[in-house]
Structure 1
Amino acid sequence: MKKLYFLTLLATAFTFGQSVVITTVIDGTLPSDGCAGSSGSSNPKLVELYVSGTVDLTNYRLQTESNGAADAASISWNTGCDLTALGTVTDSFIYLVGAGETTFTEMYPSATPAAGLTSLPNGNGNDAYRVALYDAPGTAGNLVSVMDQFGDPLDLPVNDYSAAWCYQDSYAKRNNGVVANGGTFDSSTFTYGGNAAFASPNNTCAFITAAVPVGTFTLTTKAFNGINGLTLYPNPVSGNVLNITSSNNGAMSVQIFDVLGKRVANTSVINNQINISGLNSGVYIVKITEEGKTATRKLVVK
């Protein structure tokens, strides 16, 4: 049996440890030299990350895919911003400010921009981002895994701002309780200002700060035990089939997450069963939704 990893599942809430998620993206409309400055009009550029648990950021990168892609073969992630210099981070926000740092610190005095990094993100409103782990630092190395992604380049087959997640002169903010998506982006997991939200007369520090607070995201989410008579069996499971039943016996959708918060399965219950043959030995969180109600359970796979 492979080594098992353990999570804590609370009765009324759950969180995922050891993950890095993209929580806020801002494409500002302010000068770069302070709120009352006169240099430029497209600041600040921010990608906010949240580190849950303790993560050694060696060989992690925040990468950008610019302006969309016509097909999968055309998707091109840049080398990105190497996060190695940040070292080991525990339960903290990281502020990657690609432009307008002076203005950003004036707007958010309690938020300190990450220092010692290069190639910081500088999104123009239709750039996708991802947090990825490589097997070597800098420009070398091969992709090991994608922990989280904001935006889907395939939503923009032409270079425009038509996708639901676009944020030109605006922002996007992750909904509380949404865990790392493992590179499968769902636009419904963010709240958006809509393109041009910061156009005149809203191009002021006061307006943007009030509209987009930083450092507020939480992975804790409540009311996740709302399905009457929910049962998962066998648990622990050593075969390829997991049985899921409830008192209502309604249609159920299922998402399964590993210990990093990465979604590893997204399926529906058919004849009170799901196939779990693709899961390795370990501990998982199973999120079940039935008729608008959601519950979570810990699953052990042998």
Structure 2
Amino acid sequence: MGTLSLSDYKDVRIWSPWGHIAGRWYGNRSERPILAIHGWLDNLGTFDRLIPLLPDYLGVLCIDLPGHGCSARLPPGMHYSTAEFFLIITRVMKEYKWPKVSLMGHSLGGVLCYIYTALAPHTVDLVISLDILLTPFESPELLDYLAYCLDQCLVEAERIEEALMREPPSYTLAQLRSALSEGSNNSVPPELAQHLLSRSVARSQMYPEKYYVSRDGRTKCHNVLLINSSLAAEMARRIKKNPYLVIKGTESSYINSNDDELLNILRNQNPHFEYHEVPGTHHVHLVSPELCAQHIVPFLRHHRPPQVSSWSLAGEEQKLGTRKHHLAQENFYTKRLSTL
């Protein structure tokens, strides 16, 4: 067994009422893959450097959330929400008729994995959460975000209308790399920004050497699911049997003291829970994929080991039957010879 290849993939389009969900299915397509979900304002390119380190006996289906990457946008007048995002997991499962799902998520993707697993633990066979457990709750920062969304949602809606009449502002790739890095609080270094830019920008028709952001601007102010600490704890108690791996970047604050109660519940009641810290930023899986893979690969091999259904004893049984036949013949002729 080897590792996955970033060039071995199939582009997929999963139907949705507003259009489609875009994805790339890497590696093995003969059995149920890991479903990988990116973070807020990112896209499936966030897993580019981690994919080639994962075992090739399992495929990985990476998707773009609605309004992100190459997935369809919601219709005008609609708004993105955490609730709609975690329903995407159900839509993908229905599309492929999966009775269970293996989840891997970063940031917002990890939050969706947590919520979905708490709601339907019987359908989840493992979770890999990258530098997140649950979004901060009961914090002033959340109120600041909600206040920001009051005006920003209308601003982004107006920009969409303007984009129908004229092309959005365009920039050089160097400018976009720097802007993406700064927008991520330097979690994504400029030299790695191309992994995300490849699915979030489009070439300008007016200035062919420049590009503009193609992601739906309304994703910047999606409606978050408000979860208080008692509800978050009850959700953790429901995740009591599901193999759950959490990897935190040491330079990131996305997992902090606010998560201590949830982590303690998972540690104390879930024998399949793992928590590891590795040097890195919030995008630790993109910046330091080898360090993440050191924990992810053993976790996968333990909880989703290679299938042995292809092994068959039929050949050995046939050989054994032939051998018995030959022995019987030898005994028959031996007895005949002894009577002569």
Q: Tell me which structure has the larger Cα radius of gyration.
A: 2
TM > 0.5 fold call: no
- Name the structure where strand makes up a greater proportion of residues: 1
- Name the structure where helix makes up a greater proportion of residues: 2
* Band the TM-score falls in, shorter-chain normalisation: under 0.3
With normalisation by structure 1, the TM-score equals 0.27
